[in-house]
Amino acid sequence: MRKTLALIGLNAMLGLSPAVADNPIFEHVFTADPAALVDGDTVWLYTGHDEAPNNDVFFEMHDWLAFSSKDMKTWQEHGPIMKAVDFEWATGHAWASHMVKKDDKYWFYTTVRHDDTHPGFAVGVAVSDSPTGPFKDARGSALVTNEMTTHTPNDWDDIDPAIYIEDNGDTYMFFGNLAPKYVKLKDNMIELDGEIKLIDIPHFTEAAWVHKKGDTYYLSYACFFPEKICYASSDSIHGPWEYGGILNEIAGNTETNHQSIIEFKGQSYFIYHTGGVPPQGDQPSGGRFRRSVAVDPLYYNEDGSLKRVIMTTEGIE
């Protein structure tokens, strides 16, 4: 899967395919909305799976894919971990997700479209003893349904769950489109523990992600449209959040931008998607509904602010 420079050069010389470098990471399948989990010496990378035959219509996403790496350079493919319709109450739309580990179980929070009993998008939660599944619906019903979030008229204002687990085990879910929100989860991970609260951050579109470095919490999110990634920071998971500016520019050949930030073996990484895969044989080129995951390093300034990400084709070297 990892492309070697020799192969790239040979292909280019023979005119067999465009010269390709190491971002996007996967070229044989379209991957979107990355969510990475550091688990011991392994990074688990979960992605949506773009399959749109027509790049001008809409997303077509049925399942979620898993990959793993021990060095962020070579990746092993594990295939689909779950389909949207494995939630019996869902009709499809396997949108953005987030995997976390708690109490030796893997908890998969994800966006799907609910059936007509609760029309609109919803958040489901599935659980497994293994990072590659099998995953099963942990509740038998949605954790959040559209009518629980009335901050915008859109039925997709409750998408893109991102989980943050405090050192004491308290767990929060950040989510939303246009109206950023968070809510505490009960220790059982499958029930809300209190009200859904709005967050005050500028330019928010979607794709919230929370990480912590030292004593500082960072809330990154897709902002503006076409989307860039902005971020805010705080000394508390509850805010207030101080806007830090733009972290990543428009990712290229797609209006969406969706990030995952991890620290692994002493290095911070910014994982995102672009529409940048060239055509491969029968596979069409990437684009707005055919996205591909990429990774570049993330660096901090001495004052704790984040340096703007430099998106590269080389990826991690």
Binding residues for ligand FUB, per CB under 6 A?
32-33, 48, 59, 95-96, 111, 159-160, 206-207, 256, 258
Nearest distance from residue 275's CB to ligand FUB, in Å?
Answer: 11
Q: Which is nearer to ligand FUB, 22 or 158 (CB)?
A: 158
d(CA 209, CA 233): 12
Q: Which is nearer to ligand FUB, 225 or 300 (CB)?
A: 225
Count other Cβ atoms within 10 Å, centred on residue 54: 11
Nearest distance from residue 268's CB to ligand FUB, in Å?
Answer: 21
Q: Which is nearer to ligand FUB, 98 or 258 (CB)?
A: 258
Nearest distance from residue 89's CB to ligand FUB, in Å?
Answer: 19
d(CA 35, CA 33): 7
Paired tokens of 80 = 């689909």
Nearest distance from residue 95's CB to ligand FUB, in Å?
Answer: 4
Would you call 21 helix, strand, or coil by DSSP? Answer: coil
Nearest distance from residue 8's CB to ligand FUB, in Å?
Answer: 28
Cis peptide before 297 (omega within 30 of 0): no
Q: Which is nearer to ligand FUB, 152 or 267 (CB)?
A: 152
CA dihedral 75, 77, 83, 87 (to 10 degrees): -70
Q: Which is nearer to ligand FUB, 71 or 180 (CB)?
A: 180
Q: Which is nearer to ligand FUB, 26 or 95 (CB)?
A: 95
Alpha helices in 3-93 (DSSP H): 5-14
Would you call 84 helix, strand, or coil by DSSP? Answer: helix
Helix or strand run (H / E) with residue 5: helix 5-14
Given a contact cutoff of 8 angstroms between Cβ atoms, the answer to whether 126 and 82 are in contact is: yes
Helix or strand run (H / E) with residue 118: none
Q: Which is nearer to ligand FUB, 33 or 137 (CB)?
A: 33
d(CA 129, CA 42): 16
Count other Cβ atoms within 10 Å, centred on residue 37: 21
Nearest distance from residue 222's CB to ligand FUB, in Å?
Answer: 6
Report, in this order, helix, strand and coil percent for the chain, each rounded to 5.
Answer: 5, 45, 50
Nearest distance from residue 58's CB to ligand FUB, in Å?
Answer: 10
